[in-house]
Amino acid sequence: MIITPKVRGFICLTAHPEGSAKNVENQINYVKFKGSIDGPKKVLVLGASTGFGLASRITSAFGANAATIGVYFEKPSAEGKPGSPGWYNTAAFEKKAQEAGLYAKSINGDAFSDEVKQKTLDLIKADLGQVDLVVYSLASPRRVHPKTGVIHNSVLKPIGQTFSNKTVDFHTGKVSEVSISPANEDDIANTVAVMGGEDWAMWIDALKAENLLAPGAVTVAYSYIGPSLTEAVYRKGTIGRAKDHLEATAFTISDSLKDLGGKAYVSVNKALVTQASSAIPVIPLYISLLYKVMKEQGLHEGTIEQMDRLFRERLYTGGEVAVDEKGRIRVDDWEMRDDVQAQVATLWEQANTENLSEIGDLAGYRTDFFNLFGFEVEGVDYEKDVNEVVEVPGLV
C-alpha cells in the first residue's frame, strides 16, 4: 500500500516501513563510522524499539558487536494496517544485525508484567547465559502494577501551583499561553509508579535472583533535568518526582550489585523529539529554540549521537565513569552549557507565532517528528507501493 502520515495532535497513526528502515540504517552507519567500542558483549534493552532505547541497542550491536535482546510494546503490522514505528524499527534492526552475524532477538509485550519478565529471563537463560548490560529505557503513560493489579496513569502537571507559560502547536506554529493546574497527591504517586524506579529494580532483582547478571554487570536508566524555563512542568512537576525516584533507585540497585562488582547508573540525556516528549506542554517550544541554538553552534545531537557518546565517552572508556555531584552521568552537558541556555532564554522572551519559524527551528522539530514515524526521511520514495506487512526476524 501507499502509506501517508495520519496525524492526530502529537501522535501519528501510521508509520512507514522503508522510512523506518532507512532511519535505522542511518543510525547503524553513524556508529560504524565512529569505530568500535570496547563495550558490553551481551545486552538486554528494555524499551528497545524507539528513541534512546533503540539507539542504545544499535550502539551495543554495531559499536561493540554485542548480542542484544530487546523488549518493547509495539503494534505488529497486518494486511492493510501499518504497524507502529517501533515494530518497523525493530524489524530493520534485527535484519541488519543478523546479516552482520550478531545475535538479535526480541519480545513484544508489557515489560511491567511478571509474564514478560519471566519470558525474558528464560530467553537469556537459553541463549546468552548472562547479560553484562541492562538498559532501562521505558517511557509509558500507564503501568499495570504486577503485584497489586492497580492501573497507574502518569500525568504531566506542576506541583503546588498552576503553571502558565508559552507553548507551541508545532504543526501550525501557533504560539499561545498554556495554563496547567497543579497535581494532587494521587497524580504524583501514580506518575512515580509509572516512570519511577520500582520496575527497574524489579527487573534487576529478577535477573539477579536467577543468576543472569555477569560479574561487573552494569545497568543504566535515562533521566532529564532541563532548564529553569521548563522546571515547573518538568523537573519540579510530577514527572520530575518520578525522575527523582529513578535516580534514587540507582543507588539501591548499586548496593544490590556490589557482590557482583556491578553498578547502576542514571544518564541525564538531552531534550529530543520523541513520541514521549512531544506530548509534554511547553517542551516542544523549548526544543525548537534549543535546536536552533545548538545547530548554529555545531552542538546538535540526535538519539544516536547521544547514545554513542554515552557508551564511548562515559560508560566504556576503560577508566572511571565520569559523574556529577549526584552520581549521574551527564550527556546533557552541551544542552546545559551557559551560553546555550542564555541564548535560548533570550529567544524564549521574543518567541511568538509570527517569528518562531525564523528564530526557532520549527522546521527541524517537524521533520524530527515525522521521522519518528518513518516519514520525510531523505532517499525514501513515498509514492511507491510498499509492503506494509513486515516480519520481525528475531521475535520470540
Q: Where along the sequence are the contacts to Na ion (CB under 5 A)?
A: 47, 51-53, 137
In total, the chain counts a number of residues equal to: 396
Query: Binding marks (x or -) toward ligand NAI, 63..102, rule CB under 6 A?
Result: --------xxxx-----------x----------------
Nearest to 360 by CA among 368, 369, 351: 351
Is position 222 annotated as part of the catalytic site?
no
Helix, strand, coil abundance in the chain, percent, nearest 5: 45, 15, 40
Per DSSP, 282 falls in state: T
Task: From 239, 337, 235, 246, select the one nearest 296 (Cα to Cα).
Answer: 337
Q: What is the DSSP secondary structure assignment for residue 124, as one 8-state letter?
A: I
349 is in an annotated binding site: no
Q: Residue 185 burial (CB < 10 Å; 0-12/13-18/19+)?
A: exposed
Give CA–CA dist 187/178, Å, rounded.
20
| Binding residue for ligand NAI, selected from 68, 77, 106, 274, defined by CB under 6 A | 274
Residue whose CB is nearest to ligand NAI in the complex, by number: 51
Query: Is 274 known to sit in a ligand binding site?
Result: yes
Residue 166 in marked binding region: no
Whose Cβ is closer to Na ion: residue 163's or residue 200's? 200
What distances in angstroms separate CA 331 from CA 39, 266, 337, one per listed residue?
18, 11, 11
- d(CA 166, CA 233) in angstroms, rounded, equals 12
Question: Pick from 289, 283, 291: which is nearest to 180 by CA?
Answer: 283
- If binding means CB under 6 A, how many residues of this protein chain bind ligand NAI? 29
- By a kind-dependent CB cut-off of 5 to 8 A, residue 68 interacts, out of Na ion, ligand NAI, none, with none
DSSP bridge partners of 179? 164
Minimum distance from CB of 389 to ligand NAI (Å)?
A: 20
344 has binding-site annotation: no
What is the footprint of ligand NAI within residues 12-51 (CB under 6 A)? Answer: 47-51
Q: Which residue has the cell 529478577?
A: 206
Q: Which option in ligand NAI, Na ion, none does residue 238 bind, with CB closer than 5 to 8 A by kind?
A: none
**140 is a contact residue toward ligand NAI (CB under 6 A):** yes
- For Na ion, which is the closer residue by CB, 56 or 77? 56
Among candidate residues 234, 265, 316, 365, the one labeled active-site is 234
Phi-psi domain of 319 (left: phi exceeds 0; alpha: psi -120 through 50; beta: other): beta
Contacting ligand NAI (CB under 6 A), which of 159, 272, 282, 290?
A: 272
Residue 230 near residue 335, CB atoms below 8 Å: no
Q: Determine whether the annotation assigns residue 232 to a binding site.
A: no
Q: Choose the one of Na ion, ligand NAI, none that binds residue 60, judging by a C-beta under 5 to 8 angstroms depending on kind.
A: none
Range list of H helices, 100-137: 114-123
Q: Which is nearer to ligand NAI, 112 or 316 (CB)?
A: 112
- Interface residues for ligand NAI in 201-260 (CB under 6 A)? 222-224
138 carries a ligand binding annotation: yes
For the annotated catalytic residues, the residue numbers are 234
* Binding-site sequence positions: 47-52, 73-74, 110-111, 138-139, 224, 243, 272-274
Which residues make up the interface to ligand NAI (CB under 6 A)? 47-53, 71-74, 86, 110-112, 137-140, 222-224, 269, 271-272, 274-277
